[in-house]
Amino acid sequence: MSESQSTRTVIIQNKQGLHLRPADLLARLAYQFESNIEVENDGLSVNAKSVIDLATLGAGPGTELKLSATGTDAEKAVEAIAELIINFTDEDEEAVDTTESESSS
Amino acid sequence: MRILQGIAVSPGVAIGEAVVIDNQGYRIPHRFISRSAIDTELERLAKAFVSVGRQIENSRDEISEELGEQYGAIFSAHLQMLRDPKIESDIVHLIKQRHYSAEYSVSQVLSKYIKVFENLSNVYMRERANDVRDIERRLINTLLGNRREALSNLETPVVILAHNLTPSETANLDREKVLGFVTEVGGPGGHTAIVAEALEIPAVVGTGQFLSDVTVGDLIIIDGDQGRVIVQPDDETILRYQHEVEEHRSLATRLEALSGLPAETTDKQHIALYANIEFPHEAEACVRRGAEGIGLYRTEFLYLGQDEEPSEEDHYRVYSQVVKDMEGAPVVIRTLDLGADKLLGENPEDPEQNPFLGLRSIRLSLRNIPLFRTQLRAILRASVLGEIHVMFPLVSTLQELRQAKMLLSDIMEDLEEEGVPFDRGIKIGMMVEVPSSVIMLEQFAKEVDFISIGTNDLVQYTLAVDRSNKEVAGLYNNSDPAVLRLIEMSISKATAAGIKVTLCGQMGGNPIYAMLLIGLGLRSLSITPSAIPEVKKVCRSVSIAQCEEIASRVREMENAREIKQFLREELRKVVPELLL
């Protein structure tokens, strides 16, 4: 299979943005691909397979993220990740908040 | 650079890397490891990652079960962060390339992320700093495990920063490796401070909280003269202090030349300089520095940090060592001078409300006759080996003195019956450190051979100031006119009665007071051995008439500050190099 490159821009829809749990999902998904995947927010670009780096983007709702991948499965990776970002939800938003503040106090 | 102000308790300057001791007394490990330790360190790190992964999984399962899946999910995110390959590779990089310890590398890498999160504009995201902190804490706790490194296992010279150090911890500090220490709590004249002075390492206490802002390995300057602690000093400050250290060293070398010369004033009046010691091994330093004897041998170390009461043989062994090391020079042994709260095995149900006014020193000894007897027997037995004097601390009434003397004669009779030799004419003295004993000194003087003015306690009891209470420590002044008057009264009453008078508080070791004390009529001082050369220098630079003039000027002054300032100026005129 040959190396290819793929990019796509996607806007974060959920209210909390790319916080830890969405970042976790994203990194896990990214991990399933062979390609090197980068996520860029306002000039700052990080490795999509690193949850902590993703979280440091501080990408809130409405942020435009630029996805770019290089590798054998670049196109598939970008599509899958874009899909995931668009479908981020906040259904258990409050519940998560409570637990987090408890676990960190 | 950050400057903290504490209380100076042991002079000198120390510059070195920090070792931080937490509240529980555990040492937070050192920043650097040796090249050969890299593999071990990487192995420790890998194990810690596995173990923390398991801990987080357990938390996730527990929380999920108790509260539901969505609550447990946060730990899945923690797990994902922990397993983030970037984090581990960053940490490994620091260990391999910079030879940082695993703990230090973890804290460096994760702190960096914590800072990034804290600076995010999104409030919700900002809180992620706590998640990272949680992981950092787990990793470091796991790495530290039970590896409680003792203070005695230091490899390179360092400065110790701690919340608190007990006197026995201080006493066990390795003088080769510990350049100086700082504690967040504590006050001047506390036992820790006295031990620091005995060890001759710069120390500052009572800085207030600051440990959380210091990283292991940070460069620290301890200014034991000004009571200052400088965290991560800038280059200019480092240079200035290095210069100061050099000056001190060259001054010390110049003063060393005096060690063979007598301490006498320019008009040939002899001033007897004795040494205060805490540990038997200090006797050697006393001889080297030209002390005429030991004016105060504190015996508390025998009781501190021990699991059981010292036996008569324990006492005898150290007393005989000191008296032999002093080669016939007099040794004044002070009996137990501790509060009940400090005595081993005494863990009272209801602690004293006011221990400084409570059961301590001679009062405690008189309440524990067997304990007192043990010490006095050992002192008497050692008295045939050289010139030993015995001194009772904190005497506040004649009855106490008489009881103590009676016990001493009892023991003498016992020894005589047993055929054990001792010095029948052993000199008996008392500390004058409670205002009542100054007031009643004419009476006391008839019943003792000598007195020693203990200025540390005298200041505290005269001015009603707890020297370890930061709120009022500023009121604790050696130069307070009331204190000076009591000192002068003590000197003149003792001189009139024809008994010997010495002063053994920390005040005596401070060169600014030497001329004043001589001017007030004192001809004998017992001070920390390291101060002997400086005080001798002062003595050799002035005449009695000059000192008396200073004393008469001071008598007219009204407050401590003015007096201290004046004394500094007078010292500057005579020996400016002592006021670096």
Do B206 and B328 belong to one domain?
no
- What is the reported pLDDT for B210? 87
Partner residue opposite A52 with nearest CB, options B87, B120, B122: B87
A99 touches chain B (CB under 8 A): yes
Q: Are B564 and B524 in contact (CB under 8 A)?
A: no
Q: ∠ at Cα B348 (B347, B354), nearest 5°?
A: 115
CB contacts under 8 A, B 339-368 vs A, are none
Give the residue from B512, B528, B519 showing the smallest Cα distance to B478: B512
DSSP state, B426?
-
Among the three residues B144, B177, B198, which one is the final residue of a domain in this structure?
B144
Residue of chain B whose Cα is closest to the Cα of A104: B130
Shortest Cα–Cα distance, B138 to chain A (Å)? 12
Which site among A52, A100, A101 would you substitute to test the B interface, given the most B Cβ atoms closer than 10 Å to its Cβ? A52
B134 touches chain A (CB under 8 A): yes
Query: Alpha carbon of B66 to those of B52, B61, B69, B258: distances in Å?
Result: 21, 9, 9, 77
Q: Which residues of A touch B128 (CB under 8 A)?
A: 19-20, 55
**Could you tell me the residue ranges of all domains in chain A?**
4-95
Give the residue from B11, B504, B458, B512 showing the smallest Cα distance to B291: B504
| B200/B90 Cα distance (integer angstroms) | 42
- What is the reported pLDDT for B151? 62
Do B170 and B261 belong to one domain?
no
What is the separation of C-alpha A105 from the centre of its chain, rounded to a whole number of angstroms? 27
Residue of chain B whose Cα is closest to the Cα of A54: B81
Give the residue from B193, B205, B186 showing the smallest Cα distance to B7: B205
Give the residue from B143, B28, B33 showing the smallest Cα distance to B96: B33
CB pairs A-B closer than 8 Å: 88
- What is the reported pLDDT for B579? 78
Query: Alpha carbon of B99 to those of B113, B177, B447: distances in Å?
Result: 21, 21, 67
Q: Which residues of A touch B113 (CB under 8 A)?
A: 52, 56
- What is the reported pLDDT for B26? 53
- How many domains would you assign to chain B? 3
- What is the reported pLDDT for B345? 52
CATH of the domain at B228: 3.50.30.10
Q: What 3-state class would DSSP assign to B244?
A: helix
Read off φ and ψ for residue B219, nearest 5 degrees.
-80, 135
Structural domain for B447, as ranges: 257-578
Shortest Cα–Cα distance, B55 to chain A (Å)? 13
Give the residue from B131, B2, B161, B1 showing the smallest Cα distance to B56: B131
DSSP state, B360?
B
| B80/A50 Cα distance (integer angstroms) | 9
- What are the helix (H) ranges across B425-470? 435-439, 441-445, 455-463
Do B337 and B452 belong to one domain?
yes
Percent of chain A that is helix, strand, coil (3-state, to 5) = 40, 25, 35
Do B88 and B125 belong to one domain?
yes
CB contacts under 8 A, A 27-46 vs B, are 27-28
The arithmetic mean of pLDDT across residues A16-40, rounded, is 88
Do B114 and B167 belong to one domain?
no
pLDDT digit string, tens, across residues A68-83: 999 999 999 999 999 9
CB contacts under 8 A, A 43-62 vs B, are 47, 49-53, 55-56, 58, 60
Partner residue opposite A104 with nearest CB, options B84, B125, B134: B134
pLDDT digit string, tens, across residues B263-315: 999 999 999 999 999 888 889 889 888 899 999 999 988 887 666 889 999 99
Torsion of CA B137, B142, B143, B149, to 10 degrees: 100
Which site among B60, B111, B122 would you substitute to test the A interface, given the most A Cβ atoms closer than 10 Å to its Cβ? B122
Do B81 and B21 belong to one domain?
no
Question: Quick check: A104 pLDDT over 50?
Answer: no
Q: Are B161 and B20 in contact (CB under 8 A)?
A: yes
Q: Are A91 and A56 in contact (CB under 8 A)?
A: no
**For residue B343, how many other CB atoms are within 10 A of its CB?**
20
Q: Are B289 and B322 in contact (CB under 8 A)?
A: no
Tell me the two tokens of residue A103. 């676990």
Q: Which residues of B touch A92 (CB under 8 A)?
A: 70, 73
Which site among B88, B106, B123, B125 would you substitute to test the A interface, given the most A Cβ atoms closer than 10 Å to its Cβ? B125
Partner residue opposite B86 with nearest CB, options A21, A52, A92: A52
Residue of chain A whose Cα is closest to the Cα of B85: A50
CATH of the domain at B97: 1.10.274.10
Cβ distance B124 to A17 less than 8 Å, yes or no, reads yes
Do B127 and B161 belong to one domain?
no
B69 touches chain A (CB under 8 A): no
Among the three residues B111, B144, B177, which one is the final residue of a domain in this structure?
B144
Give the residue from B343, B341, B297 showing the smallest Cα distance to B468: B341
Q: Determine which one of A14, A19, A71, A78 is catalytic.
A: A19
Q: Which residues of A touch B80 (CB under 8 A)?
A: 24, 27-28, 51
| Residues of B catalogued as catalytic | 191, 504
Do B497 and B381 belong to one domain?
yes
Cβ distance B122 to A17 less than 8 Å, yes or no, reads yes
Do B172 and B47 belong to one domain?
no
Do B219 and B86 belong to one domain?
no
Q: What 3-state class would DSSP assign to B391?
A: strand
Shortest Cα–Cα distance, B125 to chain A (Å)? 6
Q: Are B21 and B181 in contact (CB under 8 A)?
A: no
Question: Quick check: A99 pLDDT over 50?
Answer: no
Among the three residues B144, B160, B181, which one is the final residue of a domain in this structure?
B144
Do B465 and B564 belong to one domain?
yes
| B294/B278 Cα distance (integer angstroms) | 10
| B245/B346 Cα distance (integer angstroms) | 43
Cβ distance A55 to B127 less than 8 Å, yes or no, reads no
Beta bridge partner(s), residue B270: B264
- What is the reported pLDDT for A3? 81
Cβ distance A96 to B74 less than 8 Å, yes or no, reads yes
pLDDT digit string, tens, across residues B529-545: 888 999 999 999 999 99
- What is the reported pLDDT for B229? 96
Q: Where are the beta strands (DSSP E) in B291-368?
A: 294-297, 331-334
| B396/B399 Cα distance (integer angstroms) | 9
Cβ distance B74 to A99 less than 8 Å, yes or no, reads yes
Read off φ and ψ for residue B279, nearest 5 degrees.
-120, 150
Do B405 and B512 belong to one domain?
yes
Cβ distance B74 to A50 less than 8 Å, yes or no, reads no
Tell me the two tokens of residue B250. 């060259």
- To 10 degrees, what angle do helices B38-67 and A93-104 make? 130
Tell me the two tokens of residue B142. 């796991």
Residues of chain B with pLDDT under 70: 22-31, 145-153, 167-168, 189-190, 305-307, 341-349, 580
Average pLDDT, chain B: 88
B106 touches chain A (CB under 8 A): no
Q: Which residues of A touch B84 (CB under 8 A)?
A: 27, 50-53
CB contacts under 8 A, A 4-23 vs B, are 16-17, 19-21, 23
Residue of chain B whose Cα is closest to the Cα of A23: B77
The domain made up of A4-95 is a member of CATH 3.40.640.10:
no
Cβ distance A20 to B75 less than 8 Å, yes or no, reads no
